[in-house]
Structure 1
Amino acid sequence: MTWVQALVLGLVQGLTEFLPISSSAHVRIVSQLFFGGDAGASFTAVIQLGTELAVLIYFAKDIGRLLAAWFVGLFSARARQTSDYRLAWYVIIGSIPISVLGVLLQDVIRTSARNLWFTATTLIVFAVLLAVADRMGTQRRAELTLRDSVGMGLAQSLALIPGVSRSGGTLTAGLLLGLSREAAARYSFLLAIPAVFGAGVFSIPDVLDRTGGGMQASVPQMIAATAVAFVVGYATIAWLLRYVSKHSYSAFVWYRLILGLALIGLLSMDLLPAT
């Protein structure tokens, strides 16, 4: 891997991680289209640590409050009645599906699931689902329930497939369940922390393995890409929360449709290899 590729992919990761357009699909497409090869699922998982660090810092007060409420609630019946205690458990419960499936399906995720035909299809299908959810969802609730955490957790697990989008899947589920756009977005950010950090740390040994084929990033390149993803990702969080409070997701729906169709066109004309 070249330094230009590492920095560009870090930038792409930071720009797309929190938008409902699939960061893994964009890293996959940009790497193949402009650099002639797949950077790999492991590299993608590791640079996601940068964007999740951005979530930790941006929501530091909220996370600290939730952790404190959770620990106190383990020993105090009164503390268990608070919304923060329940929300902390909702984050834990919602993180279980993607954690389990990520381990069980890791070989598929790193091979056949990265086929660009599959990516193009999921970009289009989940664009339609997001459009339906954004239009049909009542958006009346800001308070989460156990049903919301399970539904959005299951939706997040679909993001193991490039093109689905972790944030897109969770936002779609949240809107269908009646949450407001901002409430769904905030929970989506919190829900990502355990799963993405786990996947990133789990994938570090694979990125450092120099015996495999394909593009390989050096340790300095990996650190630099992760740092770029952090800086850009932090700015993206602030922008997205302001945006969804006043706008629908229609712009992202159209973007996904256009990107998916363009990708199908490139693959059909053999201008881009699918694997």
Structure 2
Amino acid sequence: MDWLQVVVLAVVQGLTEFLPISSSAHLILVPVLTTWEDQGLAFDVALHLGSLSAVVIYFRQEIWKMVVSSLTAVRGKGVDEDARLAFWVTIATLPVCIVGFLFHDFISGYMRSTFIIGISLIAFGLLLGYADWKMRGTRSEYQLTLKDVLIIGGAQVLALIPGTSRSGITMTAALMVGMNREGAARFSFLLSIPVIVLAGGLEAVNLLKAPHLIDVPAMLVGALLSGISAYLCIHYFLVVIKKLGMQPFVAYRVLFGAWLLWFFHF
């Protein structure tokens, strides 16, 4: 891998992992628009580790409170809002883990077409726009109910369809159950932690089964750049949605999806 490839892939991964615009849709363009060879599984694991580090560092205080409160609850000393939030994150993660495990081969083998990605970008982008415009409420991530969590967790399964965007569909569902923009985004980001851990763990297992040559310097730089870009993405996304809402991302998704369909299929 040359260093330009390392930088481009790391920044694309870091930015698109958390914006509601689909990382798979953007990463598919890299080999199309360049002559670069596949970056390899080891590099993918490094990029995911960088993104994971970013979200954990950004929400370190919230995560610490959730861990401490969860341990307190396990000891039978009461359940506060932080322990409840940790429980909600766990519950909302289960559906995508189960479905992803059962249908991983089918999804990776038959659903990664540019047509599906383009349609998903447009359809789920418009759904996000509707949810932000008509359905959003005032509740934060600390005011969720079990019903809300099951709806958001069920919606996260749709993220297995390339082009949907995990962050996009979870924010859409969160807005539809009456959360405010910041609460929807923050809960979506917290949900990304177990998902990235599990997805990265699966990739690491596959890497051990079929070892590849590992470019350690490229992996370290890629993880660092992915982490920095992801951290900045999370920070400024939360700032932008307070002022502009989700509509700029909806417009981007629709235009990008239409371009993909035109470029590859017309």
- TM-score normalised to structure 1 length: 0.88
Distance in 2 (alpha carbons) for counterparts of 1:91 and 1:100? 15
1:178 equivalent to 2:204? Answer: no
Q: Secondary structure at the match of 1:163?
A: coil
Question: What residue ranges of structure 1 are gaps of 5+ in the alignment?
Answer: 270-275
Q: Quick check: 138-147 or 175-184, which moved more?
A: 138-147
2:252 — aligned with what? 255
Question: How large is the RMSD of aligned CA atoms in angstroms?
Answer: 2.2
Which residue type is aligned with residue 27 of structure 1? L
- Contact persistence 2:175–2:184 (CA under 8 A): yes
- Contact persistence 1:47–1:200 (CA under 8 A): no
Matches within 5 A, 1:69-108: 69-77=69-77, 79-80=78-79, 82-108=80-106
Q: How many residues align?
A: 263
- Contact persistence 2:136–2:181 (CA under 8 A): no
Distance in 2 (alpha carbons) for counterparts of 1:40 and 1:151? 35
The Cα shift of 1:200 comes to 0.7
Q: Secondary structure at the match of 1:140?
A: coil
2:236 — aligned with what? 239
The Cα shift of 1:167 comes to 0.6
1:10 — aligned with what? 10
- Contact persistence 1:90–1:149 (CA under 8 A): yes
Change (3 A) 1:226 1:114: farther
- Contact persistence 2:46–2:220 (CA under 8 A): no
Distance in 2 (alpha carbons) for counterparts of 1:199 and 1:72? 29
Aligned mate of 1:124, from 122, 125, 133:
122
Distance in 2 (alpha carbons) for counterparts of 1:126 and 1:38? 28
Distance in 2 (alpha carbons) for counterparts of 1:89 and 1:262? 40
The Cα shift of 1:238 comes to 0.8
Which residue type is aligned with residue 102 of structure 1? G
The Cα shift of 1:29 comes to 2.0
1:153 — aligned with what? 153
Question: What residue ranges of structure 2 are gaps of 5+ in the alignment?
Answer: none
The Cα shift of 1:108 comes to 2.2
Distance in 2 (alpha carbons) for counterparts of 1:257 and 1:19? 14
Q: Secondary structure at the match of 2:125?
A: helix
Distance in 1 (alpha carbons) for counterparts of 2:42 and 2:163? 16
The Cα shift of 1:138 comes to 3.6
- Contact persistence 1:46–1:201 (CA under 8 A): no
- Contact persistence 2:43–2:222 (CA under 8 A): no
Distance in 2 (alpha carbons) for counterparts of 1:37 and 1:112? 22
Q: Quick check: 159-168 or 42-51, which moved more?
A: 42-51
The Cα shift of 1:248 comes to 1.5
The Cα shift of 1:225 comes to 2.0
Over 6 Å off, 4+ runs = none
- TM-score normalised to structure 2 length: 0.90
Which residue type is aligned with residue 164 of structure 1? T
Change (3 A) 1:217 1:30: farther
The Cα shift of 1:97 comes to 1.1
Q: Quick check: 128-137 or 99-108, which moved more?
A: 99-108
Which residue type is aligned with residue 184 of structure 2? A
- Contact persistence 2:25–2:163 (CA under 8 A): yes
Which residue type is aligned with residue 134 of structure 2? M
1:47 — aligned with what? 47
